[in-house]
């Protein structure tokens, strides 16, 4: 979902009907941008609240979310330390580093010079050098 925002009870019930277990407010954009930049990406999701579906829990509040965020900070640091130690050696063939190899569908002669310059850091390895 687009966030930060608290769900309405109706939205929360829709997510539950879809069997959604975690609602992330930034993951979609981050994952898409990482893919386009050919960067390996993973999500570490730490719960801040039950959303409004859980009738036995207190309603979601900014204070409660911030309290849980602070408590999650140490857990996140420990998880990241463990994840970094478990990363494969550099150069492992996961495919992320070549995600754009077959994604450029614009005819090369239709890519404007300013767009090519702006996106060069991502696209240069796939585009032939232009002669002056």
CA distances from 7 to 4, 53, 72 (A): 10, 9, 21
How many other β-carbons are positioned within 10 Å of the β-carbon of residue 41? Answer: 13
Whether residue 59 lies in the annotated active site: no
Contact 40, 96 (CB under 8 A): yes
**Choice among 51, 59, 114, 124 that is catalytic:** 51
Q: Judge contact between 108 and 115, C-beta under 8 A.
A: no
Is residue 124 part of the annotated active site? The answer reads no
Q: Which residues are catalytic?
A: 49, 51
């Amino acid at each position: 979902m687009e966030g930060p925002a608290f769900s309405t009870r109706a939205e929360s019930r829709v997510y539950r009907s879809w069997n959604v277990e975690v609602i992330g407010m930034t993951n979609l954009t981050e994952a898409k941008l990482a893919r386009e930049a050919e960067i390996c990406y993973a999500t570490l999701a730490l719960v801040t609240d039950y959303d409004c579906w859980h009738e036995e829990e207190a309603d979601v509040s900014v204070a409660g979310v911030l309290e849980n965020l602070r408590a999650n900070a140490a857990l996140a640091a420990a998880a990241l330390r463990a994840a970094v130690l478990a990363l494969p050696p550099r150069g492992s063939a996961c495919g992320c580093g070549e995600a754009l190899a077959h994604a450029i569908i614009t005819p090369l002669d239709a890519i404007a010079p300013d767009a090519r310059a702006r996106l060069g850091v991502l696209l240069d390895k796939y585009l032939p050098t232009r002669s002056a």
